[in-house]
Structure 1
């Protein structure tokens, strides 16, 4: 069955990057008329929500797209960021260890989520 997904824009301060950050996330439509969506991927830089959370988003005229406003129902999931400083570390092996524990991960530029 094909899921109905939308891209949601978020703006937040990232403790990892130490600056305001813009990110777009995929979200499953729960009730578009009420602005309810379920986050469907892992946020990269540390906002206050996680994959599976139900959020409220609305169209923002300035951004010209659906924009995150607040978490409506937390999923109980957590996003943990690991910054790999050791260039010799087997990045994929570490991700596989998380996978074996039942944890999904995404990676970008030395950061594992």
Structure 2
């Protein structure tokens, strides 16, 4: 699992609960799969750029985690939503149709 320990070391100050750790792991899997994070939330920002890192505010909303991704070789925008439900965390990774960046 090369890279997971480095990712954890980079973001351990932002991991305050089990759900944060799971989101961090899913982010790592997406990075390994050729995606790059461009930001958090539903709205584009001028600071958006493809990165292997999580944005500074990635864990600010514990009720709904929202991260935006693009593949390294395309401009298709994907949205990752993580919703805590009881003791589980439900993920939805979808193409963000009609969303312009």
Q: Could you say whether these structures have the same fold, taking a TM-score greater than 0.5 normalized by the shorter chain as the test?
A: no
- Name the one with the larger helix percent: 2
> Normalised by the shorter chain, which TM-score bucket?
under 0.3
The two structures have a TM-score, normalised by structure 2, of 0.28
The two structures have a TM-score, normalised by structure 1, of 0.26
**Structure showing greater Rg:** 1
- Name the one with the larger strand percent: 1
